[in-house]
A and B are shown apart, each in its own frame.
Chain A
Amino acid sequence: MKIKNLLPGIGAWLEERFGFRGLSRFLNEKRVPQHRHTIWYYTGSSILLFFFIQVVTGIMLAFYYKPTIEEANKSIARIMAEVPLGWIIRSVHFWSSSFMIALVLFHMTSIWIIKSYRKPRELTWMSGVFLLILTLFFGFTGYLLPWDDLSLAATKVGTDIPRSIPWVGAWVTKLLRGGEDVTGDTLTRFFGIHITVLPLCLLFILVIHIYLIQKLGMSLPLGLDKKKEEVKELPFWPNFVYREMVVWLVLSGILFSLAIFLPPSLGKEADLMAPAPEGIKPEWYFLFLFQTLKVFPSRILLVTGDTLAVSLLLLAGILFFFLPLIDYRPEERKGKVITFIAYFFIIYAVVMTVWSLVQ
């Protein structure tokens, strides 16, 4: 065989065994509709970008991090001070998590308002809700790992919240904490969940989510789906992918700038017996919840305030998950009310967050 035939030869040999042709044909034929809401299509792939960055930087941090009560805080201090470029890696991991969560929230609210979850995309939405929960859980478990006084207090509160759920609550709290109270076992457990359980679950659901999106095609906003023929389309490969790459480049530029100029600090080592520090605040994406718990009175009618708040939250979560089945006629009045609720939630979350920040 001549050298110049070698590469196509290898290609044909692999094709005979793997049979990738169907996939490449699919990618060649995939089209992305162009309309005034196309910008929201970019949020999904940008989430993937930040997830990828989290995986890479997370593996790197795990090389030096030690998930025990004696070593956790010191090992992070060492990553920040001694490990070559360690502070940048931690800073990128820190900022990228916020970017990922922000984009997940954008992604979901845009789908809520454009109503892309309607038939036949109910399961895409529901798998997305699971991904949202996993992402928030990533943030929650990761927050404890530096083991400083703020993260300890936040974890005590966060793991105590499920306790108010009837019947199963106390068990959930125990399961999360690895015991009755937050201790060194909680730290080790959170580390295990953060680096093994959550990534495996997330990847599994992500595959389903992405498969459904490819299988069902891109959704069109309400109204446009009626005049499908008039909508302009863009080939996914290479036109749309190149556009996505521009978005990725800009976002990573912002990410790396923030990571370099505003690296996260490390508080003093957590002391299990010390009182909660003053002015504690969770990460920004839990602030609205934090503020809600703070302003709920201690007793409303016959139940305690936190029980009521948690029950309402749980109910909202269940309704949110079943949204596509509730809003099955999005053009009609019910659909408009549900859109209104979306805006109400956004305003509520923003007001609570700002209130919590100015206090």
Chain B
Amino acid sequence: MKLEHSLFTRRQFLNSLFGGWLGVLLASLLYPVIKFVFPPYREPDKVILPFSEFKDVEPGSVKNFAWGTKPALLKKNGDGSYLAFVAVCTHLDCTVTYLPEQRKFFCACHDGWYDEQGRNIKGPPPRPLRQLVVAVEGENLIIKREGVE
């Protein structure tokens, strides 16, 4: 049935009303499902490690530590300074290793190479390794995300 000046019939009106309700109901059921399957993640601003464990690293070699859920490497340079890298290959996320005799970082998954400053030099990696900021404060080694106070 349609009233004389109406734009739609009573059936159309009711169908869109019920359809709209159904859509809203489905969306409100879907929302918690989607929220549930993505757990929260926050990258750490900094990690604090006991310096004593890293003091004895030979110059030109590395020791690994955990950067949140990611593996990371602390490298001692020849002059005694430190560099820290997230040890995740920028190509497809494999964990890289440091080869001291070649002075390069190496990813075994797809044959990716980085120089000792973490710059991508050979193979598929598109970007340098992510670098972290290292500071020694008393007994602690403090490793920060770049740009964090």
Chain A positions within 8 Å of B, measured between CB atoms, are 153, 156-157, 159-161, 171, 174-175, 178-183, 185, 272-280, 290, 293-294, 296-299, 304-306
- Can you list 23 residue pairs at the A/B interface with Cβ under 8 Å? A153-B94, A156-B92, A157-B110, A159-B93, A160-B93, A161-B92, A175-B38, A178-B37, A178-B39, A180-B68, A180-B69, A183-B69, A274-B71, A274-B95, A275-B95, A276-B97, A280-B108, A298-B120, A298-B123, A298-B125, A304-B126, A306-B91, A306-B92
CB of A181 within 8 A of CB of B38, answer no
Does B111 make an interface contact (CB < 8 A)?
Answer: yes
Docked complex Cα distance between A272 and B96 (Å): 12
Does B87 make an interface contact (CB < 8 A)?
Answer: yes
Please name all residues of chain B whose beta carbon is closer than 8 Å to the beta carbon of A273 when the two chains form the complex: 64, 66, 71, 95
- Among residues of B, the one whose C-beta sits closest to the C-beta of A178 is B39
- B interface bracket (residues with beta carbon within 8 Å of A): 20 to 34
Does B60 make an interface contact (CB < 8 A)?
Answer: no
Please name all residues of chain A whose beta carbon is closer than 8 Å to the beta carbon of B91 when the two chains form the complex: 293, 298, 306
Interface of B is mostly: loop
Does B30 make an interface contact (CB < 8 A)?
Answer: no
Please name all residues of chain B whose beta carbon is closer than 8 Å to the beta carbon of A153 when the two chains form the complex: 94-95, 108-109
Docked complex Cα distance between A52 and B94 (Å): 35
Shortest distance from the beta carbon of B116 to any chain A beta carbon, whole Å: 16
Please name all residues of chain A whose beta carbon is closer than 8 Å to the beta carbon of B41 when the two chains form the complex: 174, 179-180
CB of A276 within 8 A of CB of B39, answer no
- Among residues of A, the one whose C-beta sits closest to the C-beta of B71 is A273
Supplied contacts A279-B108, A306-B91, 9 more A-B pairs, CB within 8 Å:
A153-B108, A157-B94, A175-B38, A178-B39, A179-B39, A275-B96, A276-B107, A294-B110, A298-B125
